[in-house]
């Protein structure tokens, strides 16, 4: 998923995964986050390489971080434009300006576990909000991404060793018959990495399951949580183009939960 200004693209390969037929809609063209040759993809750019750690720091300790706590932001590394990540009385705000967006990294890894966050995504063409799990470069990666030109839709995707495995993102909406605008309010999002599967959730609703299959690349090394906003204007139309006269643009996170399965 990407984080932040797109510089290089990688080829998409075969689609693998099981999705809930009530939630999924596959477009005819490739969609994605950070850097894909056939469309935007969500892995690393020149900047994002700086986000990759040379080694992992595994923990079995679960942590729940509530951003009504004034010290909550200190539990993360803000590695890109720290002036654009700041706390309010009950959230951390991610701001995108013409100069830059921002990226927060939780400094611990799990081998298997669950990432959860309560997020309001940013509206605005070209603006991309993201939460993801990624390992060291070349990264296995598991993403939730939202493009601000369509905030009724969330996109789940994955990469193995920096390579796009599924050519199409899974396009999903909030639970129920009437999709909600995910920029208008907060929703709970989760990515769960198990030994034999990956699962993506919205408001505790399982929207997609990716099984581990013999001989098929699987993102088992996606271990560390990253989140923020970035300018997707250079993603060949996937995210749209930012109109800076309407900025700055903001997303927010109220809480974050990291649960290793040890």
Give the active site residues: 141, 145
The count of residues in the chain is 262
79-103 per-residue burial string, b: 16 or more CB within 10 A, e: under 16: bbbeebbebeeebbbbbbbeebbbb
Question: What are residue 93's DSSP bridge partners?
Answer: 86, 252
Contact predicate 177/163, CB 8 Å: no
Rounded Cα distance between 262 and 252, Å, is 30
Q: For 134, phi and psi rounded to 5 degrees? A: -150, 150
Q: For 213, phi and psi rounded to 5 degrees? A: -120, 145
Rounded Cα distance between 60 and 34, Å, is 30
């Amino acid at each position: 998923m990407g984080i932040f200004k797109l510089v290089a693209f990688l080829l998409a390969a075969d689609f693998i995964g099981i999705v809930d037929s009530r939630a999924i809609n596959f477009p005819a063209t490739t969609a994605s986050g950070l850097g894909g040759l056939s469309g935007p993809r969500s892995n690393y750019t020149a900047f994002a390489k700086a986000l990759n750690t040379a080694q992992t720091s595994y923990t079995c300790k679960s942590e729940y971080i509530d951003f009504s706590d004034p010290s909550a932001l200190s539990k993360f590394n803000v590695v890109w434009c720290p002036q654009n990540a700041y706390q309010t009385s009950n959230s951390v705000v991610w701001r995108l300006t013409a100069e830059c967006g921002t990226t927060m990294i939780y400094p611990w890894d799990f081998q298997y576990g669950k990432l959860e966050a309560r997020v309001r995504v940013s509206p605005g063409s070209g603006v991309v909000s993201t939460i993801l799990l990624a390992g060291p470069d070349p990264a296995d990666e598991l993403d939730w991404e939202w493009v601000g030109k369509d905030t009724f839709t969330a996109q789940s995707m994955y990469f193995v060793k920096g390579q796009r495995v599924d050519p199409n993102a899974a396009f999903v909406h909030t639970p129920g018959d009437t999709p909600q605008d995910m920029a208008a309010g907060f929703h709970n999002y989760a990515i769960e990495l198990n030994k034999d599967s990956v699962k993506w959730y919205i408001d505790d609703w399982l929207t997609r399951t990716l099984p581990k299959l013999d001989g098929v690349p699987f993102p088992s090394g996606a271990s560390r949580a990253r989140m923020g906003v970035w300018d997707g204007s250079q993603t060949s139309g996937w995210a749209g183009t930012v109109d800076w006269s309407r900025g700055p643009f903001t997303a927010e996170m109220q809480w974050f939960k990291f649960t290793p399965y040890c």
